[in-house]
Copies of this chain bind each other. A is one copy, B any other.
Amino acid sequence: MIKEKEKFMQEALLEAKKAAALGEIPIGCVIVWRGQIIGRGHNLREQTKQTHDHAEMIAIAQANRFLNSWRLEETELYVTLEPCPMCSGAIINARIPKVYYGAPDEKAGTAGTLMNLLTDPRFNHRVKVQKGLLRRECALLLSDFFAKLRKK
């Protein structure tokens, strides 16, 4: 039986696959509130040419509209790759209480790899982090994407 949190990470993986289909680095995110997905997003940076169009930012914007609030208390964020500093900052600003991520990001990960902004006691909000949820699937999607890119 698939646990609920794995089901939500599968939804984030579905989002990541939408990014891959567009030639974008496959990263996906969903935001859950009271058992319901209220925000979804996948990386769209090359399509939109917008710095902020990471999966998490798009999902947060959608959840903001759903709850009609810049605060996303009582939500959980699921993302296939460890958040970068921009996305970690947005998670803190939105007061999201819990983040699940799949694969670590050795280059820009700020939820435990290079540093941990999400748990830093100097900010006015701290986030509970669970890393490595469906890590293999999340990492494989990325490594497959880059392998295909190198072949071209």
Contact residues of A with B, CB < 8 Å?
A: 45-46, 48-54, 57, 60-61, 64-65, 68-72, 84-90, 92-94, 107-108, 110, 114-115, 117, 120, 122-124
Chain B residues closer than 8 Å to A70, beta-carbon distance: 45-46, 48-51, 53
Give how many copies assemble into the complex.
2
Let me know if A85 and B123 touch, CB within 8 A.
Answer: yes
Known: A51-B60, A115-B122. 7 other contacts (CB 8 A): A46-B70, A50-B65, A51-B61, A51-B72, A52-B61, A108-B124, A115-B120
Let me know if A57 and B61 touch, CB within 8 A.
Answer: no
Q: How far is the CA of A46 from the CA of B45 in the complex (A)?
A: 26
